[in-house]
Structure 1
Amino acid sequence: MFSFLALSLAAAAQTVPAQTTQLPPPPPAVPAPVTAPVEADTRPYVELVTDAGKIVIRIENRRAPITAANFLRYVDSKRMATVFKFYRTTRSWGEGNALVQGGNRGDARLNYPPIAHEPTTVTGLTHCKGAVAMARLAPGDATSDFFILLSDIPGFDADPSASGDNAGFAVFGELVSGLDVAEKIYAAPVSPAKGEGVMIGQMLEPEFKILSARRIAAPADAPQGCVVKAAPRP
């Protein structure tokens, strides 16, 4: 009897179909988003240590190569830390025309030869707050003196439609940190008598020395800035 029962169970196992579970197909793979590679910022950055504190400037060497190379030459040769000072504030012009000016206020023999003028109509740069540009009397006579804008001054841009000297000034960089330092220099006391012409009453007393000037790595938090207005003219 037991053998008969065993045979019956075996037969039943052969005749009853096995139960299977149907699983849904796996969802299609979602492709990873394609992102454009981030271009490394290869522009030079310069740290100036002054009597008033540190200032960091980003140099637009691809847009204004001649002017940028001139500034970096003073930095790399250590001449900037030898005789350069911030010596001028335009506080007397009002908040809408605010800048501080620096350069070689010692031995003029330490100036490199004048450089060709790079107008903003060619470089695509502009004189916005924080812009760094070369001081000059006439296009092509700039040597060591430069200024930092503490307000937008679009009238400093080149304007071919204007009469007379319409070449503007040559922007070559931008302040990325140390705005408070530049504003401290701007607000400092001035001599009532020093200077010539429009610079009378604008000469800082005392002046602010540039104690050191060196290239540094691009700061991780460097702002995008405002000086890049348009693509440079080919």
Structure 2
Amino acid sequence: MNSCFYFSCKQKKNYKEPTVKIETNFGDIIVELYPEKAPKTVAAFLAYVDSGYYKDGSFYRVLKAEDQPSSSFKSDLIQGGIWETKNKMQIKLPGIPHETTKQTGILHKDGTISMARLAPGTASTEFFIVIGDQPAYDYGGDANADGQGFAAFGRVIEGMDVVKDIHKQPDNETNFTPPIAIKNIVRL
């Protein structure tokens, strides 16, 4: 007899790809990762997840199309990691070799998770999730002057409503006020 009949229990899902849960006060965001397409990025991200780096992190940056100058491309995203909460740790980590969307084929479509960076090879713990299709972040796009785009490495498979709720929170220019807590990121 199935004990779940009498007691509340959750069935563990079997995901085809490595999958993580981003835990927030707004709910959970479930993200599948693509190690066959972006092996270096996924390996680094999972190493940070497994090390517990994201515990007590935050979503601290937001881009909203309506808040951007009319002369720039428009984008919607939320950015998080440990920059606000564990900056000293974050700046000591080595950069991840840059895997472009031209190499991986993972484009910045609605719900894509990608690594934030300055120059190619400088990404570490900071990531962003796009809302709507954002081709400016792909290789050859306008989001970065070097044209190399950003390293996309997975996508949200559950919880885009949570991403959108977070995106709506109060901000001052491009910063959430206050930052949105990331309780933890864990493997499923």
On whether the aligned pair clears a TM of 0.5, the verdict is yes
Pair 1:69 & 2:43 matched = yes
**Structure 1 residue identity aligned to 2:178:** P
Give 1:41 shift.
5.4
Give, in angstroms, the shift of residue 96 of structure 1: 5.1
Give the distance between the partners of 2:63 and 2:44, measured in 1 at CA. 24
Structure 1 residue 88 displacement after superposition: 1.3
Give 2:165's aligned amino acid.
K
TM-score by length of 1: 0.66
Sequence identity, in percent? Answer: 36
Out of 103, 114, 131, the position equivalent to 2:81 is 103
Q: Secondary structure at the match of 2:45?
A: helix
Task: Note the 1:139-218 alignment, pairs <5 A.
Answer: 139-159=120-140, 165-191=146-172, 201-216=173-188
Q: Deviations over 1:1-41 (max 9, x none)?
A: xxxxxxxxxxxxxxxxxxxxxxxxxxxxxxxxxxxxxxx95
Higher RCO (C-alpha under 8 Å, 6+ residues apart): 2
C-alpha distance after superposition, 1:141-172 (max 9, x if no partner) = 11111100001111211129xx9511100000
Unpaired runs of 5+ residues, structure 2, are 1-13
Q: 2:109 aligns with which of 121, 128, 133?
A: 128
Distance 1:107 1:143 in 2: 13
Quote how far apart the aligned CAs of 1:136 are. 0.7
Gaps of 5+ in 1: 1-39, 192-200, 217-234
Q: Structure 1, residues 94-130: CA drift from partner, whole Å, max 9, x if none?
A: 9951111101112223223111100011111101111
Q: How far is 1:133 from its partner?
A: 0.4
What one-letter code is carried by the residue in structure 2 that aligns with 1:107? K
2:96 equivalent to 1:115:
yes
| TM-score normalised per structure 2 | 0.81
Could you tell me which residue of structure 1 aligns to residue 23 of structure 2?
49
Q: What is the DSSP-based 3-state SS (H/G/I as helix, E as strand, rest coil) of the residue aligned with 2:171?
A: coil
Q: Highest Rg: 1 or 2?
A: 1
Instruction: Tell me if structure 2 keeps the 8 A contact 1:85–1:210.
Output: yes
| Bigger fraction of residues in strand | 2
Q: How many pairs are equivalent?
A: 165
**Residue matched to 1:219:** none
